[in-house]
Amino acid sequence: MDNYRILVLEDEQDIRDLISFQLKAEGHHVTAVDSADKAISLLEKGEKYHLMLVDWMLPGTLSGLEFTRKIRQHRDYKEIPVIMVTALTQPDDVVAGLDAGADDYITKPFDLDVLQARVRVQLRANYTQLGAQSTPGNLIVKDILRIDTAKCRVSVSEQEVQLTSTEYKIIVTLAQKPGHVFTRTQLISQIQGENIHVTGRTLDTHIAGLRKKLAEGGQLVETIRG
């Protein structure tokens, strides 16, 4: 059983708790919030999800429909499957939800087995054949730095940065363990490989070049003396 990260956006606590319980019983990691504002706050902090269940009618500044439109305009989230779960049952509502970017539309009241089946369909369709597709597991986001390990791309403030193979290995190694202090020997063992030979002296040169290319993102790479 695969363990996916799922965001549940539902303002009715009983329904929110019920959906969360069912998804957790399937082995998924569930985050549940009651407003689009809270969901956006999580996304802005770099939280990553494989699927979102979104209620249409929500308190706060954004409805579920507006939230779906908003994330579909963001390159980091536009491919994440969205299932709209709502009490609005008219054909025009279904069309509006799908046009806003929802991948599926479930009306309340709903059968929990049907909900689980719809979730499985979306996860299977999007994540069983990944290839070079970017998924939440392939993305490392830290402040203005974004690393897509599936495509070996690094960007700072949404501007792609061209790195050498060694520089790329260094930044991925550091970003995968934020706050961890690596010795020179540990870093060298992580990045050493075919066509890459690094010594302690050249490592300093590579890191200096990496900082320069990252520009304002270079401050994320910190040297601890001694």
40-83 tens-digit pLDDT: 999 888 888 889 999 999 988 899 999 999 988 887 777 788 99
Look up the pTM and report it. Answer: 0.58
Contact 10, 85 (CB under 8 A): yes
Contact 6, 52 (CB under 8 A): yes
Neighbours of 93 (CB within 10 A): 17
Q: Please, which residues have CB within 8 angstroms of residue 115's CB and are 6 or more apart in sequence?
A: 19, 22, 85, 106
Query: What mean pLDDT comes out for the span 129-138?
Result: 49
Q: Please, which residues have CB within 8 angstroms of residue 142's CB and are 6 or more apart in sequence?
A: 46, 175, 178, 220
Query: What mean pLDDT comes out for the span 203-218?
Result: 88
The whole-chain average pLDDT of the chain stands at 84
C-beta pairs of 110-114 under 8 Å, 24+ apart in sequence = 110/85, 112/18, 112/22
Which helix (H) or strand (E) segment holds residue 90: the answer is none
What is the C-alpha end-to-end distance of the chain, expressed in Å? 45
Please state, in angstroms and rounded to a whole number, the distance separating the CA atoms of residues 54 and 162: 37
Contact 33, 65 (CB under 8 A): no
Neighbours of 55 (CB within 10 A): 26
pLDDT of residue 51: 93
Most confident of 18-22, 124-128, 172-176: 18-22
